[in-house]
Copies of this chain bind each other. A is one copy, B any other.
Amino acid sequence: MSTQRSEFTARYLVESSLPMERVAETIAGEQSSGTFMALPGETDELKQRSRARVTRIVELESVTEPSLRSAFLQRHGGSDNFNRAEIEIAFPVDNVGANISTLLATVAGNLFELGEVTGLRLLDIDMPSDYAKRFSGPKFGIQGTRLMAGVHGRPMIGTIIKPSIGLSPQQTAEIVDSLCAADIDFIKDDELMADPPYAPFDERLKAVMPVIQKHADRMGRKPMYAINISGSIDEMLSRHDAVLAAGGTCVMVSVNWVGFSAVEHLRRQTQLPIHAHRNGWGALTRHPQLGFSFTAYQKIWRLAGIDQLHVNGIRSKFWEPDDSVIASAKSCHTDFAGVQPVMPVFSSGQWAGQAPDLFQKLGSTDLMHLAGGGIIGHPGGIAAGVMSMREGWEAAISGVSLESYAHSHPSLQGALAQFGAA
């Protein structure tokens, strides 16, 4: 098909008992101009303009058990051979326009429910840069985040306010005070904490911001506090404004639940970096033959305009293999159609000990490294906890082993003694 139309592509991992060519054509049809009725005269023009096309099929090894059940396939006879393939489909840009919900309805949408497939995962998307430009994209990204926090040449060391929920505004301010006294770079709310009656958003902000300002005056840079503003559209906008007015430098949002249109709306008006908490993401990715790869996921959120995105941690408390975590972080750094990179945020079960592997595997310090227990549970206290994280990264960057570096760095020594056996 020769065509001058501008296209974006989606790549899938597909499993089906049917021939892969047929499945690929079904997908292309369903997600564009499928289910045709004859229209006088216009049919060819319509097809030329709107029909998606299959651009690649790479057959993989087949399996004998379906990954996901399909009542449709069972009604049509069942099978004991399920083909797998990577397929790529090209869609006309004009089918969608600069509309994330329609982009997702097109590249994902009903596909996961197709009776013909026993597995379907969106592996990647790609698009021309002049199409990507029509979306907002990150306003701050990695460089803007670093500028705002005054942290350069090393990772941003951070933590999460714990307990997750239950602290009064005054208790929160006291913890923030201890963390800032330790020269921390970054603090975030827990995603469970938004606006409870015993610690309303406004009161927390009022209690916390003077503490941060006090330390900023002392430190010559302002610790970045990602305050959870998740809520209704009006709440998020007014909370963004309140954070800004109070001198805050970041807002956090549970992106999967407030959704793409809400984040885009916030992005258009934000004057602060958007810290994207991906809680819920596991439901979309944990089965390898279903849902979304992180590569595709982070691209779509970059289009929507987030600046920082969670990627779990290596040797974390979560299910995810370390290789997958590293691949996620790398994808946040990778160029995508001219859309600027976002800051990967490592957390869960983190302490100074992961620094060398992170640096070696990632080859970059453009990241946030968040430790909860790894800072607060340090035997020398919070200040030693933060220091141990920084020392871990100093060792990693200078290529010295943690054990050697710890000889002259007691905070790191304490961390190794406390967390190193685990």
Contacts and interface: CB of A to CB of B under 8 A. Distances in A.
Residue of A110, A120, A171, A320 with highest tally of chain B CB at under 10 A: A110
Given A109-B192, A166-B33, A279-B110, A233 B233 contact: yes
Interface string A289-332: 01110000000000000000000100111111110000000000
A198 B49 CA distance: 9
B35 A102 contact: no
Contacts of A106: 192
Contact of A261 (B42, B259, B321): B259
Given A68-B319, A259-B262, A50 B287 contact: no
Given A35-B164, A46-B163, A106-B192, 10 more contacts: A49-B198, A100-B257, A102-B192, A102-B195, A104-B254, A110-B191, A114-B318, A233-B265, A258-B260, A259-B259
Given A33-B164, A162-B37, A167-B46, A115 B316 contact: yes
A199 to B, nearest CB: 10
A104 B163 contact: no
A96 B36 CA distance: 48
A104 B257 contact: yes
Interface stretch (A69-77, A138-146, A206-214): A69-77
A196 B96 CA distance: 6
* 8 nearest A-B residue pairs (beta carbon): A259-B259, A112-B282, A50-B166, A101-B257, A113-B282, A261-B262, A109-B279, A46-B166
Interface string A21-39: 0000000001111111101
A72 B102 contact: no
A254 B192 contact: no
Interface in A261-302: 261-265, 277, 279-284, 286-288, 290-292
A108 interface: yes
A330 B37 CA distance: 33
A249 B117 CA distance: 36
B94 A197 contact: yes
Contact of A97 (B68, B197, B256): B197
A373 B34 CA distance: 12
Contacts of A277: 105
B261 A115 contact: no
Contact of A32 (B50, B97, B164, B315): B164
Given A258-B261, A261-B236, A317-B114, A198 B94 contact: yes
Contact of A260 (B120, B259, B281): B259
A109 B280 CA distance: 4
Contact of A287 (B68, B71, B101, B113): B68
A164 B37 CA distance: 10
Nearest to A39: B171
Contacts of A72: 316-319
A223 interface: no
A192 B262 contact: no
22 contacts: A33-B165, A71-B322, A72-B317, A95-B165, A97-B196, A99-B195, A99-B231, A101-B230, A105-B191, A105-B230, A105-B280, A110-B279, A112-B280, A112-B281, A113-B320, A115-B318, A117-B319, A236-B261, A258-B259, A259-B263, A262-B265, A282-B290
A325 to B, nearest CB: 9
A174 B47 CA distance: 19
Interface in A344-391: 372-373, 376-377
Contacts of A112: 280-283, 286
B165 A264 contact: no
Contacts of A283: 108, 112, 283-284, 290-292
